[in-house]
Structures are given as structure tokens and as C-alpha cells.
Amino acid sequence: MFCDRPMTAQEQQAAFGAALRRLRKGRRLTQPALADLVGVSLSTIAQWEGGRTGATEQSVLKLEEILGAAAGELGHHIGYAATTPEEAIEADAGLPAELKRTLLARIAAARRVERVP
């Protein structure tokens, strides 16, 4: 569903919470198990999933890593996501520098091909 106005902070938190719950359940993790992995309290996970509070950028990145989410899959709901694939690659501290260079070069090459008539 498309909306002709920007989402409110409350709507963003609710969308983040729903996406977090979906990813957690998809990985068959309980809220207590996820809380242990992230290093937060059970009530924090419950508040995030319930859309009552937002997560910090650091927590969002950790959640995406733990849940195997694509870069920005959770963060875009609350304004923390990279806006381009290049930004996502640059922001991923777990990628070796050589792999980053290779990925960025391939993206650039693909974009050049797309522009050729």
C-alpha cells in the first residue's frame, strides 16, 4: 500500500517491529534468545517488536547481522538504511577490503552496461 505522506515516527517503529518479528520467527528464535544474542533485555526486544520504541543504529546493524537480513532490511524502516548498494557495501565492516573493491567494481560495470543503448 502506498501513502502520499511520509510515515510518522510511530508508523516507522511499528513497521520496524513487524519486520523484526517476521525475521526472528523466520529464524525460529525466541525473544529471549534474540535478546541474548543482541545483548539487550527481553523487554527491549518486546518493545521493539511492539513498535513502542525504536532501536539505535548500532542495534539495527547487529540485528541485521544476527538475523541474516540484507543490509538495510530492518534499518530502512527507521531511517538507518544505506540508500544504495554501494553504501551498503561500504558500511559492512565484516567484508574484506578486497571483496568490497570487487563488488563495487562489478556494480560500476553493470551500471555502465545499463547505460549503453
For residue range 22-66, what is the model confidence (pLDDT) as tens digits?
Answer: 989 999 999 999 999 999 999 999 999 998 888 888 888 889 888
The answer on pLDDT for 114 being more than 70 is no
95 CB-side CA count, 13 A: 16
For residue range 66-81, what is the model confidence (pLDDT) as tens digits?
Answer: 888 765 677 666 665 5
Provide the pLDDT for residue 47.
94
